[in-house]
A and B are shown apart, each in its own frame.
Chain A
Amino acid sequence: MARKPKSNFELILNGLFNENPIFRLALSMCPAVGISTTLMNGFLLGLAVLFVQVASSCTISLLKNYIHPKIRIPTYTLVIATWVTTIDLILSAFFPTAYKAMGIFIRLIVTFSIILMRLEVFAAKNPLIPSFWDGFGMGLGFMFGMMTLGFIRELLGAGSLFGHQVLPVKPLLFFILPVAGFFCVGFMMAVFNYVEYLFKKAKEKKIRG
């Protein structure tokens, strides 16, 4: 590729904004809708995905020369599944309350296309350190997205943050209902679209004037 390799910091920013998995790439939305009901949930699942993403990216980056191209998808899936099972076992043993809050979504991390995509697109073609940061950036982007949603929904739905009551009343029960996840993600996407539109306009202005 003739593109200049991105600096590590740029990789992280990329994961957070330009290619934010939830709001821009529209991948791995199931948990975004389903369990972003509290800030804590969003934080914990984000952390779990971060772990799996980074671990898988590093593993594949290290093994990229030994994987036969014809079986790369099953191999990637196997690596992801192994790390997912690992974190599932660790969480259920050492953080049982958090584990119960996340329910089935931990094991479903395996189907997050975002992780598979990052392995295919980046980790399989890049050395260890950049793969680590790319994975980190993506995981961070996911966590950021989940926490934003969790923040909005918990604050407006239960009037609390991280379980501590912040508002004196519960504004709108609606936001805690899983359905609201759809609406919130939809609005956040509109916000991101608008922000991108503003950036584009500013860039065009710079070029023209």
Chain B
Amino acid sequence: MRDFPRIIIGLTVACVASAFIMGAVFMFTIKAKKHNEYMEFKEAMYRALGYTHKNPAPKTLQFHEIYRYILHEPNKDYMGYMIPLKNGKYCFVALSFEGNFLYKKDLNITEEEAREKTAREKALVAVLDPSVKFFYANKIIIAINNGKRVAYLLPRGFAGFKTTIKVLLALDADYTIKGLEILEQEEDPGLGGEIVKDYFKNQFKGLTYRQISQLKVIKKPLPEEYRKILEQEEEFTEEEIRKIREKYQDSHIYALTGATITSTCVTNGVKNIVKKFAYRIKVLDRIIKAQHINAVI
């Protein structure tokens, strides 16, 4: 028992030293980590929009984010959007679940600052009633070129076969899919993990809204010529690509061999994302117009 104090001191010193080292490394790496994550995400955005080294994005292309929140007040629940304005700041618009405008408040936060969750929460707390509790739902990224909406980018997650699959879906102005990027997945390599390959992902490219709303998975082998244009293996002319696509692409996705469940998860995930988004953006645009909100989007 004489050793007891020595033991306690020894353990405490060890714990404190270890905590100190880990804390220091954490502080040192957190900035780099966030920067890396942002750069990776930006690259995924460009890929989803179809821009490559050979076909770079126009310099006038800008991205603006809309953030959606769910709000709880003691006797009612409703929804709210943080909308970017032409003056570089945000305004908060609250609407009922049925789509009726409730109120609007200006927020003191720039677009750059709003990318941080804590900064957004601070700005909201400053203008909302203290009895209101809000929860972040998701965000919509709108790509604007020369004042016109070019594309919508939706980072979303849904249940995969093993764990959650996170994707970035790019839609153009009339909800046709421009591209699908898989951000995170932990499916079986060689089986479900093949969803990141072009011959699966690119089947979604070019699907119209009508085709998406009836999208299903079919368990047939992928036709060879379709696979070739999906993987862009050989040089095809525009006309050939169009003809092959017309022949094989419709409201069906060819499932991955040995990974039907994963294929179905991704297909249904994409279908739900587009349906919900199309519904919500219509409601939001209606309110922006009716309330004469000076939005930059």
Rounded to whole angstroms, the CA-CA distance of A92 and B3 in the bound complex is 41
A67 within 8 A of partner (CB)? yes
Q: Would A70 and B25 count as touching, CB distance under 8 A?
A: no
User: Scoring B residues 161 to 200 as 1 if CB is less than 8 Å from chain A, else 0, what string do you get?
Assistant: 0000000000000000000000010101110000000000
Chain B residues with Cβ under 8 A from A176's Cβ?
A: 189-190
Rounded to whole angstroms, the CA-CA distance of A81 and B22 in the bound complex is 10
B10, B25, B30, B40: the one within 8 Å of A96 (CB)? B40
B26 within 8 A of partner (CB)? yes
A166 within 8 A of partner (CB)? no
Q: Would B32 and A94 count as touching, CB distance under 8 A?
A: yes
Q: Would A66 and B10 count as touching, CB distance under 8 A?
A: yes
Chain A residues with Cβ under 8 A from B21's Cβ?
A: 82, 86
Residue of A70, A75, A93 most packed against chain B (CB within 10 A):
A93
A47 within 8 A of partner (CB)? no
Chain B residues with Cβ under 8 A from A158's Cβ?
A: 190
Chain A residues with Cβ under 8 A from B96's Cβ?
A: none
Closest to B186 in A: A103
Rounded to whole angstroms, the CA-CA distance of A81 and B6 in the bound complex is 22
| Interface residues of chain A: helix, strand, loop or mixed (majority) | helix
A68 within 8 A of partner (CB)? yes
Q: Would B30 and A93 count as touching, CB distance under 8 A?
A: yes
Rounded to whole angstroms, the CA-CA distance of A67 and B11 in the bound complex is 9
Chain B residues with Cβ under 8 A from A71's Cβ?
A: 7, 10-11
* Size class of the A contact interface (CB-based, 8 Å): 20 to 34
Rounded to whole angstroms, the CA-CA distance of A23 and B97 in the bound complex is 62
- Chain A's nearest CB lies how many Å from the CB of B96? 41
A78 within 8 A of partner (CB)? yes
User: Scoring B residues 9 to 41 as 1 if CB is less than 8 Å from chain A, else 0, what string do you get?
Assistant: 011001100100110011001101100110010
Q: Would B22 and A82 count as touching, CB distance under 8 A?
A: yes
Closest to B184 in A: A100
Which B residues between 182 and 236 are near A, CB-CB below 8 angstroms?
184, 186, 188-190
Which A residues between 101 and 127 are near B, CB-CB below 8 angstroms?
103
Rounded to whole angstroms, the CA-CA distance of A78 and B18 in the bound complex is 7
B14, B37, B40, B188: the one within 8 Å of A75 (CB)? B14
- Chain B's nearest CB lies how many Å from the CB of A102? 12
Q: Would A70 and B7 count as touching, CB distance under 8 A?
A: yes
Rounded to whole angstroms, the CA-CA distance of A45 and B186 in the bound complex is 18
Chain A residues with Cβ under 8 A from B188's Cβ?
A: 177
> Provided the pairs A89-B25, A93-B29, A93-B33 are in contact, do residues A173 and B190 lie with their beta carbons within 8 angstroms?
yes
A167 within 8 A of partner (CB)? no
- Knowing that A79-B14, A89-B29, A94-B36 touch, tell me 5 more A-B residue pairs with CB under 8 angstroms: A85-B25, A89-B22, A93-B32, A96-B33, A176-B190
Please name 6 pairs of A and B residues whose Cβ atoms are closer than 8 Å in the assembled complex, sorted by A. A66-B10, A68-B10, A75-B10, A81-B18, A86-B22, A94-B36
